[in-house]
Amino acid sequence: MSTNSPDSSGGFKVFQRGQTYMKTWPEEKRLSLIFPENRVITATRFATRFMPPIAIFTLTWQIAMSGQLGPAVATALFACSLPMQGLWWLGKRAMKPLPPALLKWFYEVRDKLSEAGLALAPVDGTPNYQSLAELLKRAFKQLDKTFLDEI
C-alpha cells in the first residue's frame, strides 16, 4: 500500500502520481456514483489525446487566416494545459488521506479480502486514495462483484 511521504508533493512527482493513480483506479461504473475519479480519468485521457492536435490546429488556422496570434497562443496553451490539470488533480487526490467514513469502508473491504483467504500487506500510516485504489482494484479482481453490496 502507498503512504504519504514528505517529498511526494513536489513538482513532477504529483504528475507521476496522477498517472499511477489513473492506471490503478478500477474503471467500475458502480464507483462512478460515489467517486469523481472515473469522470476525471475519462476527461484527462480525452484531453491527452485530442487537445494537442486542437492546439496545433488553432495556431495554424489563426496564422493562415492572418488573425491575431496572441489569442491563438493563449487558446493553444489552455488546450495543452487540460491534460496536465487532470493529472495534477489525480496526483493530489492520490496522496490525500482518506476521510473517516471512507477509512471505515477501506478496512471493511480489507476484511472481505482477508475473509476470502487473500494475503494482505500491513497498512503503513494512514491510508490514502492511492491505497484505496489499489485495494479496490484487487477486490474487483479477486472477489465477487457483489462485495460492494455487502459492505
Residues 120-130: tens digit of each pLDDT: 888 888 999 99
For residues 135 and 110, give the distance between their C-alpha atoms in angstroms, rounded to a whole number.
Answer: 7
Q: How far is CA 76 from CA 44, 50, 89, in A?
A: 16, 12, 21
Residues 98-141: tens digit of each pLDDT: 999 999 999 999 999 998 888 888 888 899 999 999 999 999 98
Buried b (16+ CB within 10 A) or exposed e, 110-128: bebbeeeeeeeeeeeeebb
Q: What angle do CA 57, 51, 137 make, to 5 degrees?
A: 160
More confident call, 36 vs 75: 36
Res. 9: pLDDT tops 70: no
pLDDT at 150: 61
Q: Which amino acid appears at position 82 of this protein?
A: L
For residues 58 and 93, give the distance between their C-alpha atoms in angstroms, rounded to a whole number.
Answer: 32
Those residues with Cβ within 8 angstroms of residue 73's Cβ, 6 or more apart along the chain or in another chain: 59
For residues 41-47, give the mean pLDDT. Answer: 96
Q: Domain spans of the chain?
A: 9-95, 97-151
Name the packing angle between helices 12-24 and 129-142 (round to 10°): 20
Distance between alpha carbon 141 and the CA centroid of its chain, in Å? 19
To the question of pTM greater than 0.85 for the whole model, the response is: no
